Amino acid sequence: MSSKSTPSETPNRLIDGDLRLIGGLDNKLFRLLAAVDRIGSINQAAKSVGLSYKGAWEMIERANNLSPRVLVATAIGGRHGGGTQLTPAGKALLDLFQRMQEEHRHFLDRLNQQLADNPDFFHLFRRLIMQASARNQLFGQVTSVRAGGVYSEVVVGLKGGDSLVASVTNESAASLGIAPGADVIALIKAPLVIIVKDFGGYRLSARNQLKGTVTRIQKGAVNAEVVIQLPGGDSIAASITNDSVDALGLKDGDSATALFKAGSVILGVATK
Same domain, residue pair 142 and 83: no
Rounded to a whole number of angstroms, the CA Rg of the chain reads 29
Q: Is residue 129 a part of any domain in this protein?
A: no
**pLDDT value at 216 more than 70:** yes
Q: Is residue 235 a part of any domain in this protein?
A: yes
Q: Is residue 131 a part of any domain in this protein?
A: no
110-126, pLDDT tens digit by residue?
Answer: 877 777 776 666 555 55
Same domain, residue pair 111 and 142: no
Give the C-alpha separation, 63 to 123, whole Å: 43
Same domain, residue pair 172 and 257: yes
Q: What is the mean pLDDT of residues 187-198?
A: 94
What is the residue-averaged pLDDT of the chain? 83
Same domain, residue pair 149 and 55: no
Q: Is residue 209 a part of any domain in this protein?
A: yes
DSSP of 190-222, one letter per residue?
GGGPEEES--TT-----SEEEEEEEEEEEE-SS
Q: Is residue 52 a part of any domain in this protein?
A: yes
What residue numbers bound the domain in which 65 lies? 7-124
Give SS3 for 236.
strand
Reported confidence tier of residue 65, pLDDT bands at 50, 70, 90: confident
255-264, pLDDT tens digit by residue?
Answer: 999 999 999 9
Q: Tell me which of 65, 91, 124 is where a domain ends.
A: 124
User: What percentage of the chain has pLDDT greater than the value 90?
Assistant: 46
Same domain, residue pair 196 and 79: no
Q: What is the mean pLDDT of residues 95-100?
A: 88
Give the C-alpha separation, 106 to 7, whole Å: 9
Same domain, residue pair 102 and 154: no
Q: Tell me which of 100, 124, 148 is where a domain ends.
A: 124
Q: Is residue 1 a part of any domain in this protein?
A: no
Same domain, residue pair 57 and 102: yes
Q: Is residue 77 a part of any domain in this protein?
A: yes
Q: What is the largest CA-CA distance in the chain?
A: 94
**pLDDT value at 54 more than 70:** yes
Same domain, residue pair 108 and 143: no
Sheet holding 223-229, edge to edge: 194-196, 255-260, 208-219, 223-229, 235-241
CATH number where 214 lies: 2.40.50.100
Q: Tell me which of 62, 97, 124 is where a domain ends.
A: 124
CATH number where 15 lies: 1.10.10.10
Q: Is residue 146 a part of any domain in this protein?
A: yes
Per the structure, how many domains does the chain have? 2
Q: What is the mean pLDDT of residues 95-99?
A: 88
Which of residues 66 and 179 earns the better pLDDT score? 179
Same domain, residue pair 58 and 150: no
129-178, pLDDT tens digit by residue?
Answer: 454 457 788 888 999 999 999 999 999 999 878 999 999 999 999 998 99
Give the C-alpha separation, 112 to 159, whole Å: 26
**pLDDT value at 2 more than 50:** no
Reported confidence tier of residue 205, pLDDT bands at 50, 70, 90: confident
Beta partners for residue 164, in sequence order: 156
Same domain, residue pair 108 and 79: yes
Same domain, residue pair 165 and 222: yes
Q: How far is CA 30 from CA 65, 83, 105, 128, 189, in A?
A: 16, 19, 16, 33, 48
Same domain, residue pair 148 and 175: yes
